[in-house]
Structure 1
């Protein structure tokens, strides 16, 4: 520790083991990013200008799409730029900034998905009082709370990680700056910082999952009490899209952040690739393809554009 030096930059290994497929990887990420940005921006515009979608659920969905835009933009553009380069590097401050925004947006999305499950709980269990309880003001307050809590729960552990000493160990076995590979690189004892990350990540994920499970528990009870099969299907359809998104997102977040220093580097990369790249891509399609109101709004929006 006496010869300890502060690292000025990190070398990102990325997909260096696929040297022969760099062109394919470049085109792959470029296409994925282009589609994701286009689809999420389109969904935000459809919600914003589609009169039928001026409802709390779709306002929250617009927030989710905005989060997905930021989520993928924090990582993928840097990956695209780095793929052709022989030396893939990022400054220390740039790495900490990427880590902060990625974690902040991920935490906010985790909380927002729990808020959306609460919205579905009110819509199914209290349909007659839904518009009174979930007013525009309450919806805005819940959305703002998600962003604020995401920021507060992220700031402290990221500050702790930025205070770690990395000596001369600056090669990140990942394709972007994330807590797991950074904690493994530290030459100081990262136990307290690792514990901080685990506690903060666990508190956000577990509390969000608990709220989601409680909401869907009550939703299931209400659906089972509906006498007609048609009524049950209609009630279930209002939650189907959100339930699919929640299941895919929470499962990967659980696996990745509850144990941030997992030794399986390749497994971490696969899980990170799924929730950092594929989730922002597929979520708008899940909501669009499985939601009748969104599909009708898309058709109406396209008709207006043609006119």
Structure 2
């Protein structure tokens, strides 16, 4: 190891990481309560120590160099180990405390806060931080080892990951109340949906990926498609009469319960996938992350009880 690398300070790594996250010197300075020249100085000193540039400007946008990508991974590792040290010292004092950083697929954000609330009742000094992404973004974060735990439904085979399935996430066909399909006798043929516009998610969405695999398997094709980048926008698109959507039932449980949206009774549905608790195989779980994994493993009945609150739905008569 070059001696110059040993002169890198935690303060410099913190400033560097913040610039990477914000892709802006001025926003990083604002978040860190520093002046912009002070942030620039810290970055310049890092570049001198590494003998490599860390950022490039293309137009007015800031981009990380290859050296910066390597340093950012190191910074994440360093701060993760310091977090683990804090948790381990807390355990020595007889308490378990710290931040639990979870990245989750967007379909999990409706149920997950309820699970985190139950978990925090057992560990009041643990503070969850939940961030929501689509599947493509989660895979990138797993590659970068950014989070304590990831919750997703389709775990990539090509990555070295540990995962534990813990709850089904059913995807159902949704229409607004009064839709012509809602007047037909049950069960409805799947092909009856093809004549309507499909309101779907964007590329990179796990829900879209699961639906497209299902459509291919069942030889279903939609000529008319509109696309949104969130389940909420899909839901509103269906409510507005734009078309039908295949949505996780958890995303529309309130609308299904009050009858403003209806789940179509189709024999081949729902598409059932399982949410999984995921982390890189090479990552040693922190005490806080291990506590949450143990909670998921040991509290299956509680999780089922929480999930049951989302299951009261209406289908066409």
**Structure (1 or 2) with the greater helix fraction:** 1
Question: Which is greater in Rg?
Answer: 2
Give the number of the structure with larger relative contact order, counting CA–CA contacts within 8 Å between residues 6 or more apart.
Answer: 1
Q: Name the TM-score class by shorter chain.
A: under 0.3
**TM-score, reference length from structure 2:** 0.23
**Structure (1 or 2) with the greater strand fraction:** 2
